[in-house]
Amino acid sequence: MRRLLWPAVILAVLLLVNVFFTANFFSIQMRDGHLYGSLIDILRFGAPLILVSLGMTLVIATGGIDLSVGSVVAISGALACLQISQDAGVFTAVVLALGLSVLLGAWNGLLVAVVGIQPIIATLILMVAGRGLAQLITGGQIITINSPSYKIIGGGYWLTVPFGILLVAVVLAITVFLTRRLALGMLIESVGGNAEASRLAGIRSRGIIIMVYAFAALCAGVAGLMISSNVSSADGNNAGLWVELDAILAVVIGGTSLSGGRFSLGGTVLGALIIQTLTTTIYSIGVPPETTLLFKALVVTAVCLIQSKSFREKVFGRRRRAVPPSPAAEEKVRVTA
């Protein structure tokens, strides 16, 4: 739980900053029969990122990384919109898109676990080729569709709550159940700790690795459906562009180490929310577009530094210890230094 403290504090600070600029930032109203407010927006636009980051967390926990999720987002949205524009049912379109996503993820997993290519290279292949595939599906066009039932996935509401948020809640619940109530989470952490030792201990590392990549791609596929459904169109070029980097960042902010092993799903969700809140903050406090990236970089750097235990000890710890001039404390500092 303590690991979640700093991400939660940072998120709270970011949200509070907004109140200074937008007085009614925390107000949530009912409008046209659904919830309406900045906080709802952050959850709704953050939903795809949370999903992608959840998948990314498990991949990173096995010591891997998946750069191809952004392309899978584009492919899944493109395929679904193409199907719907050709008068296929929404259900068929969604099943086909998610099926293709899982296949692509399994392909990544095969390259990593069976062929033995380094994860960053193996998924780089699909990252580059996948954009091309998405454009092939859309024919380089933006496919605009008009399907009220498809629209629900990313832009609709169910019982006044945005459907995307519910979808994320369900996926999160399933993931938490599978990894924390069953042994799966421990197996993933053990593969991340040492794949070879896990195999010798009787864990089917290969199967686990293929499964987490397929899961990451499935999450990305659902995110792709959400993004394309939110604007009722598929954009092979821009959908999910750079989302893999945001997702990796969310995982890191959430306190999961990139070297694999232990992971924190709650931290990842907080990390993704921090990133989305930061984006919303930039829009609402009116940071000029020319300096947006710099602003983001500075905040993220600060966030990562605050997260780091050794940094906190160096900066804050010494000062605190220096205030009460006790010889024993000074002794200790000298020893650790």
Partner 1 sequence: MLKRISALMLAGLTAMAVGGCGGSGGGGAASGGGAITMGFSQVGAESGWRTANTKSVQDSAKSAGITLKFSDAQQKQENQIKAIRSYIQQKVDVIAFSPVVESGWDTVLKEAKNAKIPVILTDRAVDSKDTTLYKTFLGSDFVEEGKKAGKWLVDEYKDSKDPVNIVELQGTTGSAPANDRKSGFQEVIGADPKFKIVASQTGDFTRAKGKEVMEAFLKSTPDIDVLYAHNDDMGLGAIEAIEGAGKVPGKDIKIITVDAVKDGMQALSDGKINYIVECSPLLGPQLMDLAKKVVKNETVPTRVITEETAFNQEQAKAALPNRQY
Task: For residue 18, give the 3-state DSSP assignment.
Answer: helix
Q: Among residues 189, 235, 244, 246, which is the contact residue for partner 1, using CB under 8 A? A: 235
146 near partner 1 (CB under 8 A): no
Q: Measured from the CB atom, is 31 or 314 closer to partner 1? A: 31
189 vs 186: CA distance, rounded Å: 5
Annotate 270-280 with b (16+ C-beta within 10 A) or e (fewer): bbbbbbbbbbb
Minimum separation from the CB atom of position 282 to partner 1 (A): 8
148 near partner 1 (CB under 8 A): no
106 near partner 1 (CB under 8 A): no
Q: Measured from the CB atom, is 47 or 188 closer to partner 1? A: 47
Q: Among residues 3, 17, 22, 257, which is the contact residue for partner 1, using CB under 8 A? A: 22
Q: Measured from the CB atom, is 79 or 188 closer to partner 1? A: 79
116 near partner 1 (CB under 8 A): yes
227 near partner 1 (CB under 8 A): yes
DSSP state at residue 284: H
Choices 57-65, 95-103, 136-144, 302-310; region in contact with partner 1 by CB under 8 A: 136-144
Amino acid at 216: A
Minimum separation from the CB atom of position 136 to partner 1 (A): 11
- What is the pattern of x (binds partner 1, CB under 8 A) and - over residues 252-271? --------------------
> What token pair was written down for 304?
């990562």
28 near partner 1 (CB under 8 A): no
DSSP state at residue 264: -
Minimum separation from the CB atom of position 176 to partner 1 (A): 28
51 vs 215: CA distance, rounded Å: 10
186 vs 180: CA distance, rounded Å: 8
Q: Among residues 108, 179, 230, 256, which is the contact residue for partner 1, using CB under 8 A? A: 230
113 near partner 1 (CB under 8 A): no
120 near partner 1 (CB under 8 A): no
Point out which residues pair with 234 in neighbouring strands: 143
Query: How far is CA 152 from its chain centroid?
Result: 21
Minimum separation from the CB atom of position 206 to partner 1 (A): 12
114 near partner 1 (CB under 8 A): yes
User: Of residues 281-320, which lie at the interface with partner 1 (CB under 8 A)?
Assistant: 282-286, 288-290, 292
41 near partner 1 (CB under 8 A): yes
Minimum separation from the CB atom of position 244 to partner 1 (A): 15
Point out which residues pair with 29 in neighbouring strands: 36
**Close Cβ partners of 148 (under 8 Å, ≥ 6 residues apart):** none
DSSP 181-198: ISTHHHHHHHHHH-HHHH
279 near partner 1 (CB under 8 A): yes
15 vs 270: CA distance, rounded Å: 12
**Close Cβ partners of 254 (under 8 Å, ≥ 6 residues apart):** 7, 53, 57, 264, 266, 267, 268, 269, 270, 271, 272
Task: For residue 157, give the 3-state DSSP assignment.
Answer: strand
201 vs 197: CA distance, rounded Å: 6
**Interface positions with partner 1 (CB under 8 A):** 21-22, 24-25, 31-32, 36-38, 41, 45, 114-117, 131, 135, 140-142, 144, 155, 227, 230-233, 235-239, 279-280, 282-286, 288-290, 292
